[in-house]
Amino acid sequence: MSKRKNIPMPVIRRLPKYRRYLLELSESDTEKISSTELGIKMGLTPSQIRQDFNCFGDFGQQGYGYNVEVLLSTISEILGMKMKYKFIIIGIGNIGQAIAKYTRFEGIGFELKGIFDINPSLIGLKFRNIEVYDVKFIEEFVKEKNIDIACICIDKRGAQQVCDKLVSSGIKAIWNFAPIDLNVPKDVPLENVHLSESILTLGYLLNEKNK
């Protein structure tokens, strides 16, 4: 693993999907897989798979294919899954609670360390043994606990302000569920989950069909 520089975003977004299929192959004790076989499973061309993998180095073997365990382990490492990341949730409404209660994130290296809300009636409640704190403590919490990721699940109104606070406290990445485009410095990765825009896409496609 040595090439990696300026990996195209589409490739990065395919990595978790590769991992998912390789995990399945690993669980069914498949030892090796060729780009052609994997392509059929995943609906990708063999060419694309080889190009993707070669962004990070050559871990295939001519005439053989790819060793499933090696590939899985390599991709997991590329994804940073050998690391643990600390995250907090801001806004423990519908989505915030869903994220808080979802236990699978821990298994892939993301540990929920704190929950924050502005609503006094929620402060003090516990979700999965994590207490809800007043948002006013965010800055000190992020700094002291060295939090990596903030998951923003509040109304769009306060979102930019909270985001600014998080950034100035040294947050390393933002996972945003608020329906707004947040302004963050270039060196703070931002990942949006815009549910309304997602369902609206379906609306468009449905509407198209009925033409």
Partner DNA sequence: TAGATTGTTAATCGATTAACAATC
What does 118 interact with, of DNA, a second copy, none (CB < 5 to 8 A by kind)?
Answer: none
Check residue 24 and give left, alpha or beta (phi > 0: left; psi -120 to 50: alpha): alpha
Give 53 or 177: the residue with its C-beta nearer to DNA: 53
- Can you tell me the distance from the alpha carbon of 125 to that of 132, in angstroms, rounded to the nearest whole number? 6
Asked if residue 19 binds a second copy (CB under 8 A), the reply is yes
Give 55 or 130: the residue with its C-beta nearer to DNA: 55
Asked if residue 138 binds a second copy (CB under 8 A), the reply is no
Q: Please pick, from the candidates 31, 140, 144, 191, the single residue that binds a second copy as defined by CB under 8 A.
A: 191
Minimum separation from the CB atom of position 16 to a second copy (A): 4
Minimum separation from the CB atom of position 80 to a second copy (A): 3
Tokens coding 21? 């299929």
Q: Please pick, from the candidates 40, 45, 47, 102, the single residue that binds a second copy as defined by CB under 8 A.
A: 102
Give 63 or 120: the residue with its C-beta nearer to DNA: 63
DSSP per-residue codes, the chain: ----SS--HHHHHHHHHHHHHHHHHHHTT--EE-HHHHHHHHT--HHHHHHHHHTS---EETTTEEEHHHHHHHHHHHTTTTS-EEEEEE--SHHHHHHHH--HHHHTTEEEEEEEES-TTTTT-EETTEEEEEGGGHHHHHHHHT--EEEE-S-HHHHHHHHHHHHHTT--EEEE-SSS-----TTS-EEE--HHHHHHHHHHHHHHHT-
DSSP per-residue codes, 67-103: EHHHHHHHHHHHTTTTS-EEEEEE--SHHHHHHHH--
Q: Please pick, from the candidates 44, 55, 81, 130, the single residue that binds a second copy as defined by CB under 8 A.
A: 81
Minimum separation from the CB atom of position 95 to a second copy (A): 5
Give 83 or 136: the residue with its C-beta nearer to a second copy: 83
Minimum separation from the CB atom of position 210 to a second copy (A): 8
Asked if residue 207 binds a second copy (CB under 8 A), the reply is yes
Sites of contact with DNA (CB under 7 A): 8-11, 34-36, 44-48, 50-51, 53-54, 58-66
Q: What is the residue whose two structure tokens read 């979802």? A: 102
Asked if residue 56 binds a second copy (CB under 8 A), the reply is no
Residues engaged in binding a second copy (CB under 8 A) = 12-13, 15-17, 19-20, 42-43, 78-81, 83, 85, 94-95, 97-99, 101-102, 104-105, 108-110, 148-149, 172-173, 175, 179, 181, 187, 189, 191, 193-209
